[in-house]
Amino acid sequence: MSTSLFNLYFLHEADLEPIRRILAGNIKKYRNNLGYTQEKLAEKAHLSAQTLNDIEGCRRWVSAATLTKLAEALHIAEYQLLMPESNENTKKNHRSSLKSLISLQDNIINTINIHFDEAKDTGDFI
């Protein structure tokens, strides 16, 4: 899948930023827990080291396929990469992140519904 989730679901950059920070922090946290360098995780996830560096640096979003590769390489479920930490210092970010995740969910559902309705109308279910 070459289209990023950002482009596919038409999120605004401001909506995506809190999720991007959570993703980057969680990748780094789980990578460090396993004692992996960025290079080692990139190799295990079949990504370039520069791509992983860009993701951890919040300069790049991920496709669904990349999210799955990272989760598998880190031995966790995909959703764990998008879950905010639970501590007092991040409560404000939780609200913003939750709003962003709800916005992403709404956009995904709307996109699916649009494509499903189009397929029903045309009979094209490919």
Mean of the pLDDT values across residues 87-98? 65
Q: Where are the domains of the chain?
A: 5-122
Please list, in sequence order, all residues whose beta carbon lies within 8 angstroms of the beta carbon of residue 99, skipping any fewer than 6 positions away.
Answer: 15, 18
Whether the CB-CB separation of 28 and 54 falls below 8 Å is answered with no
* pLDDT tens by residue, 71-84: 999 999 999 999 98
Residue 37 pLDDT > 90, yes or no? yes
Residue 2 pLDDT > 50, yes or no? no
**What's the pTM?**
0.62
d(CA 96, CA 17): 9
Q: What is the CATH number of domain 5-122?
A: 1.10.260.40
* 26: nearest Cα among 10, 41, 5, 4: 41
